[in-house]
Structure formats: structure tokens, C-alpha cells
Amino acid sequence: LQSLSFRIHINRRMLRTFPIPLIRRMASKAKRLKDDERDDAGLATLRGAGWSEVDGRDAIYKEFLFKDFNEAFGFMTRVALKAEKMDHHPEWFNVYNKVQITLSTHECSGLSERDIKLATFIETAASATQ
């Protein structure tokens, strides 16, 4: 009985500490974009900006080149802050001035609107940096 009441106490405490928007984000399941929804969601625009679809995987990819490491790291910091707010994190790799980014939503095992929104933000952040 003590164990059960302890669990209830923890759950009530957790509800008080998590803001409502975070709880809503955690509860909303991402939906995989169907082929006919992708261009309307913005994928065509991203293709025009240099994003490509990954072979053998439902994901998009782009490589960014910056002047130096500081510029690349500043860009990554801006993207990381946005990704954290979205609760949607990129797969990325950085060496000196190069940043390679792959976006896919693990929750739905493929491309979702979250990926399109984050990629669109990434484009804005990259153009502001370069």
C-alpha cells in the first residue's frame, strides 16, 4: 500500500512540474506523411533548397558548409534550441565547418510534418548564419 501511494504522489508531482504545452506535445503522435501529402507539406520547397530524400530510408538529408567551426557551431546551437522546443531532434554530424543533417520521425518511422517544420527552420538559420 505504501508503494502505491508513493507512485500516486510522484505522478501528481510530475503533473505540477510539466507545463501543459509539453504534456500536449508528449501526447500528440506524429503522423507519417503519405506520398501525396509531402509536396503540400513543403517538401518540394526543401528539395529546391538542396534537401534530398535518403535512399532506403524515409528521411531527408542536407549538408551545410560554413566559414569555420565557430559559424558551424553557432548554427548548430540555434538548431538545437529550436529542436528542443519542438521536442524533435535531428541526427547530425559535424566536422570543423561541415554539418550533415538527417531528419526523420522515429515515432512514426518516417517523414512527418515535424521534419518539414524543422528543416524549414534549419534553412532560415543557415541563411542567417552564412
Catalytic residue among 37, 89, 113, 123: 89
CA distance 124 to 87: 19
Catalytic residue among 39, 40, 63, 84: 84
Catalytic residue among 53, 71, 107, 113: 107
pTM value is 0.75
What is the arithmetic mean of pLDDT over 104-127?
90
Amino acid identity for residue 52 in this structure: S
Question: Tell me: the pLDDT tens digits for 34-56?
Answer: 877 787 778 888 999 999 989 99
H helix runs in 18-111, sequence order? 20-27, 35-41, 43-48, 69-86
Asked if residues 103 and 115 have their Cβ atoms less than 8 Å apart, the reply is: yes
Asked if residues 103 and 90 have their Cβ atoms less than 8 Å apart, the reply is: yes
Mean residue pLDDT of the chain comes to 81
Whether 115 sits among the annotated catalytic residues: the reply is yes
CA distance 70 to 81: 17
